[in-house]
Chains A and B, each alone.
Chain A
Amino acid sequence: MSRLQRIYYLIPVVALVIPFMANEYLLWVVNAMLVYILVTVGFNLVIGNLGQLAFANTAFFGIGAYTAAILMVYAGIPYVLAIVASAVAGGVAGFLASVTALRGIRLYYLAIITLAFGELMRWVYLHGDKVTRGSDGLQIPQPSFFWIPLDSEMPKFYVFLLLTVLVVKATSNLMRSRIGRAIVSIRDNEASTASLGIHTARYIVVAFVWSGSVVGIAGAMFAALIERVFPESFGLTEIIVHFGMVLVGGTGSIVGSVLGAITLTALPEYFRQFPGMDELLFGVIIVLVLLFLPKGLVSLLCRISPAFNERYYRE
């Protein structure tokens, strides 16, 4: 096992210790961190590893959350299946987003059209109020993970931790396979990659679909976390939050995504009491990171040990 993979040993420790050391509120923050870890990992896949400026993340997030919520409220579907449905819905949304990238739309055009996609979805949530209850928000019934009712933060913590570990590990495996190498190669030089006989369109789609699914699952988790899904959670301000997490952690790095998500969930929570201060702090952090630490927090770790560098092969 590589040196970095020894981190996985920490997980049972974390799993056992944290719920007993923290109160309900702190556990809620930790759960939020887990959700955002998935959000960031998914987003980083498209922005960092594939190198496309595709800001459709809030669209995936919202689609995941609303899919889970709607299925649970109107069809009484159990939470586990709702998570799967969210993953699928997110994947479909990812596929739709990939179509624009495949047509050759790049850089700022791609950013704008994916932002537009996200905002269109938000308009749908807002105005489809027969189904989504519009700006009142859609309250989900008590979710149950198989036989465990998720009525307090502790069971949610275990469920979220399980999901997060599984999805992050799967993404890590993806990036260490031929698919991951193809994706990174496309980022570095698309024309050269194509000239090597690699089907770039296929791998762009794979990256987008995977990202959409991961963030869709995160959306389903988010629905369980906040118990009431609002359109406002998936707007333009939210995409900046996601973007910030990717940047601060380190683009293209899964470890970076985790770090970014943890840092940027904890800090704004503390500053939520002063309106506007959290946004201000957020912007300032990103500006500072861009100026002084462009490769993100993970670059600090890389200086300590090269084990943290992103690897694209399996040992």
Chain B
Amino acid sequence: MFLQLTLSGLAQGAIYALIALSMTVVYRATTIVNFGHGDFVMAGAFAVYVLVIYLGLPYVPAAILAVGILFIMGVGVSRGFIDPIKSGPHIGFAMMSISLGYVLRGGARTLWGREVFPMPQVFDMEPIFLGDLVVTGDALFICAIVAILLTVFFLIFYRTTIGTVIQAVYQSERGATLIGVNVRAFHESMWGAGLAMGAMGGILIAPISLLHPDLGASFLIRGFAAMTLGGFGSLGGAVVGGLLLGVAEQYFGAYINTALIDITAYLVIVAVLVARPAGLFGKTVTVRM
């Protein structure tokens, strides 16, 4: 039982990790927390749905296309909505991101109303039985994809020139501009990358849960909880936080009370911020006057 919970917790957690990671990417690159991220994730999932159901594309090309669409959307968001308000107060970015998410949610609801959609299955695979454990095809797929994405991501971040550029811009935007980095294009591509990763998360989630316009909200909170637990701005922390959160939800739900599953994320947030605001891997920030 314990092991089964751990396994399903890890599968769920892998998705939370992906979402938290995509939010952290945007945060690390632009110091903006995308409060509307959950709704972009939902948009990614809906994009695949539209492509598969209405346009009849097979699943994998549809998924890739949806990720591409979200990448372009990210670039558009950065260029059209974030860039113009750059000179205003920082709180403006938070408001803008929430509102954009809200627009997406309203749009989805206008188009599809109160319906809830099942997503087409990715694999028609029999679950594997390892002794007492049941491992579903979906769970394996999710974990595999997330592991691959994370590896690719970390390689890019820490081993390539682009990764160094990302870190440079994060540490000092002005300095990066001075040495000739196109910071604007950088911001746009980071938003695109963050949203694209979020879309991947949405695509992975949708087959195991149902698709509806409010899908975003629960993921936003889980993403926050994972980021907070792992330490804001820490990429590895976001992943670890996501996995831990997924597992914790399963444990709390099974051993204490099923009602706690919804609320574990909030409890984690409050607990972490009260006890150790920096999270597991975050740096404690000292503000210099």
Contacts and interface: CB of A to CB of B under 8 A. Distances in A.
B96 A290 contact: yes
Contact of B106 (A107, A123, A243, A282): A282
Interface in A222-240: 236-237, 240
Interface residues of A, number: 40
A294 B94 CA distance: 13
A116 B266 contact: yes
Chain B interface mostly: helix
Given A191-B289, A294-B92, A243 B109 contact: no
A237 B109 CA distance: 14
B103 interface: yes
B143 to A, nearest CB: 27
A111 interface: yes
Contacts of B1: none
Interface stretch (A78-86, A142-150, A196-204, A270-278): A270-278
Interface string B214-240: 000100010010001000100000000
Contacts of A105: 273, 277
A275 B113 CA distance: 6
Given A287-B96, A290-B99, A291-B84, A279 B106 contact: yes
B94 to A, nearest CB: 7
A54 to B, nearest CB: 11
Given A117-B270, A283-B100, A123 B263 contact: yes
Interface in B221-267: 221, 224, 228, 232, 259, 262-263, 265-267
A286 interface: yes
A284 interface: yes
Contact of A243 (B33, B95, B265, B267): B95
B85 interface: yes
Contacts of B98: 240, 243, 286
A287 B99 contact: yes
Contact of A100 (B96, B105, B266, B273): B273
Contacts of A107: 90
Interface in A13-54: 53
12 contacts: A105-B273, A113-B273, A119-B263, A120-B267, A191-B289, A243-B95, A244-B99, A274-B110, A275-B110, A276-B106, A286-B98, A294-B88
Interface of B: 33, 35, 81, 84-85, 88, 90-92, 94-96, 98-111, 113-114, 213, 217, 221, 224, 228, 232, 259, 262-263, 265-267, 269-270, 273-274, 277, 289
